[in-house]
Homo-oligomer: A and B are copies of this chain.
Amino acid sequence: MKQILALNAFDMSAAAAQGGALAARLQQRARLFGAASVLFYRQPLEFVRAQGCWLYDTTGTPYLDAYNNVPSVGHCHPHVVEAATRQLGLLNIHSRYLHPGIIDYAERLMATLPPALSNIAFTCTGSESNDLALRLAAKFTGAQGVIVTEAAYHGNTESVSMVSPSSHRHWRAPAHVRVVPAPLGQPQEFITHVASAIDDLTLHGIKLSALLIDSIFSSDGVCADPPGFLRAVIDAVHRHHGLFIADEVQPGFGRTGTQWWGFQRHQVQPDIVTMGKPMGNGYPMGAVLTRPEILKSYCDEVGYFNTFSGTPVSAAVGQAVLDVIEREDLIGNAQRVGNYLRDGLTKLASRHATITQVRGAGLYLGVQVTSAVTAESIINALRERRVLIGAAGRLGDVLKLRPPLCFSTQHADTLLGALNEVLASADPE
């Protein structure tokens, strides 16, 4: 299965054409970062500062951020910056000394989750979280089979890359991995695909270890409805003694509105929850939550220690993020503004044949358009109108709208107005 490695990527062969200082910077960057260097857009953007939902370029021009979910409570939120600053100057040390910060943070975070998930291991990234989660599942179940969706992305370690089809130019599933189509068009068919995958593993003598999914199906192209469609799927996984790993790197921390966690939309019980991106609003931190017996089965044999995680600084930052989510009612805001934005997009869809479906929940919306070429043109045309969005989907034909959670209805109007203009132009190229 041949795939696009990076959606909306700048083509470095166009660097010289950018001219002057920019061309020189682009070439310098390519020389230093080599094959791993990826920049967004046909014409790359350089930002110097950011606040709330706005990024400012070198000329001071503001861009509306409807894409970035890492600065989830808003770029450079002063409460988070203040917490980081205070603790960075006081104490920043690993967790082998006692410190109340990380204990209190763990208690508070855990209170947002089902009580069965009563153990936590901190990491630095979502990749590290999923890497550990896969091992916990394999050790606890004594099985190797993993099921993921066909354009899934779960992180960048070796083990997690092996269950992230979208990371590979030529994807060939390892023997223990089965991929299923994401439930984009027909969510009710998802159970059939997962059941077939379990059967196929069985046929090959491979027992099921885990279903690893992100309940918003982010990189597959976004799917949230109908709420509850995952229930039968998770039941099937549990019947076959597999674990459900809920990757909350994308839908977690209130993004889908009305609840803290994406899986709660479907009223299902994960065995392991993994966290990353929005957890520290940009400070590198992640976590794995699970039942004590699952953590114990692994840690009795292998020592898990993560130097940079569970520090007083990550605790202070994590607390500040939770403070802001609560104080500013960002979950309610995600729901309200998400609905408003979704309604606006649905209206645009009724006027423009380019949009074929609007999907998502809260402030995680996927807008299905007619092709990847169209999606890329829209994304670049919006960039010219100073609005940032991204692409998703196996084919790259979905617009990904995933702004900071402080996105307002006014921000939504700006986005909708710009998108309407782009769609109204005869040729969005």
**Contact residues of A with B, CB < 8 Å?**
5-6, 22, 25-26, 28-29, 31-36, 38-40, 44-50, 55, 68, 70-71, 75-76, 78, 81, 84-85, 88-94, 96-100, 103, 106-107, 110, 118-121, 124-128, 131-132, 134-135, 156-159, 161, 166-170, 276-277, 281-285, 292, 295-296, 298-311, 313
Task: Count identical subunits in the complex.
Answer: 2
B308–A32 CB distance below 8 A: no
* CB within 8 Å for A28 and B127 given contacts A36-B295, A157-B157: no
If A55-B93, A71-B93, A284-B308 touch, does A34 touch B299 (CB 8 Å cutoff)? yes
Given contacts A44-B98, A135-B158, 9 further A-B contacts (CB under 8 A): A29-B98, A33-B121, A39-B96, A49-B91, A84-B85, A128-B157, A156-B304, A169-B302, A284-B285
The CA of A396 and the CA of B81, in the complex, are separated in Å by 41
Distance in Å: Cβ of A151 to nearest Cβ of chain B: 13
In the docked arrangement, what's the CA distance between A155 and B137, Å?
A: 20
**Closest Cβ neighbor of A291 among chain B residues:** B34
A84: chain B residues within 8 A (beta carbon):
84-85, 88
Asked if B292 contacts A308 (CB within 8 A), the reply is: no
A93 CA to B32 CA, complexed, in Å: 19
- What's the Cα separation between A76 and B92 when bound, in Å? 7
Looking at the assembled complex, report how far the CB atom of A221 sits from the nearest CB atom of chain B, in whole angstroms: 17
Q: For A81, what are the chain B residues with a Cβ–Cβ distance below 8 Å?
A: 85, 88-89
Q: Are B158 and A35 in contact (CB under 8 A)?
A: no
Bound together, the chains give a CA A22 to CA B156 distance in angstroms of 39
The answer to whether A303 touches B131 (Cβ under 8 A) is no
Q: Which residues of B contact A120 (CB under 8 A)?
A: 32-33
Whether the pair A45, B277 counts as a contact (CB closer than 8 A) is no
